[in-house]
Every structure is written in structure tokens, then in C-alpha cells.
Amino acid sequence: MLRRIGVAAAFLLAALLPASAHHGWGSYDAGKMVTVEGKIVTTRYENPHVTLTVEAQDKTWTLTLAPVSRMRNRGATEELVAPGKVITAVGYVSTRDPDELRAERITVDGKTIEMR
């Protein structure tokens, strides 16, 4: 009885693990790297993810960056991504919101910082 439940549970876990191995790219188009460059308009330096709005040539983007603690640890302080700064972000576009970019790395003031 217990063994059968154990086997069933192991199968279920195995089926779920690939999806949760890391905070995945499910709702982002991981097949296409997109670069967004522009001026930061607003900064929300908040958990669970820091978000910026950036005025690029084509449109206003919403950039999703890392959690606050990681941003700080890597030197991406609130001052570095303050409104008015020029930012270059490379990342993947949301499959649900064509104006949202999930940044893999950002470059501000000549500093390039990884977000993952």
C-alpha cells in the first residue's frame, strides 16, 4: 500500500520537477533575445521584482528586473536605475504583454549587471 503510494508520488514529483527546476521562462518568448535601450521614466524598487518603465524609440517598455536583495548584492542600487538614467536591457518579451521585457542583464553608466 505504502509502496504503491510512494511510487505514484515519485512519478508525480518527476512530472512536476522540470517545470519548477528554476523560476522558468514559461510566459516569456525565450527563443528571441530583445534589446531595449532608452531613458528610465519610472522606477519601482520593490519586491518581488524591481520594475522600470523605459521610454525606448519604438514604445514605452515595462522592464522586469531581479528581486531587491539581488539587485543590491550585484550593485544595481536604486540610484543606479533611477528615473532619467539611460539603460540598455537584454531579455525576453512576455508572451502575454508585448510591452513587458524580462531582463537577463542590464547596462547602466557603463556597468553591466546580470539579473539571473
Which residues contact another protein by CB under 8 A?
A: 1-2, 5, 9, 12, 16, 19-20, 23-24, 26-27, 44-48, 67-69, 72, 97
How far, in Å, CA of 32 to CA of 7, rounded? 39
Instruction: Give whichever of 28 and 38 is closer to another protein, judged by the CB atom.
Output: 28
Element (H, E) at 55: strand 51-56
Closest contact distance (angstroms) between CB of 19 and another protein is 7
The 8-class DSSP code of residue 83 comes to T
Output the nine-digit C-alpha cell for 53.
518603465
Closest contact distance (angstroms) between CB of 56 and another protein is 21
How far, in Å, CA of 22 to CA of 61, rounded? 25
How far, in Å, CA of 116 to CA of 105, rounded? 8
Closest contact distance (angstroms) between CB of 24 and another protein is 6
Residue 7's Cβ-side half-sphere holds a number of Cα atoms within 13 Å equal to 3
Instruction: Give whichever of 8 and 86 is closer to another protein, judged by the CB atom.
Output: 8
Instruction: Give whichever of 54 and 64 is closer to another protein, judged by the CB atom.
Output: 64
Instruction: Give whichever of 35 and 73 is closer to another protein, judged by the CB atom.
Output: 73
Closest contact distance (angstroms) between CB of 116 and another protein is 15
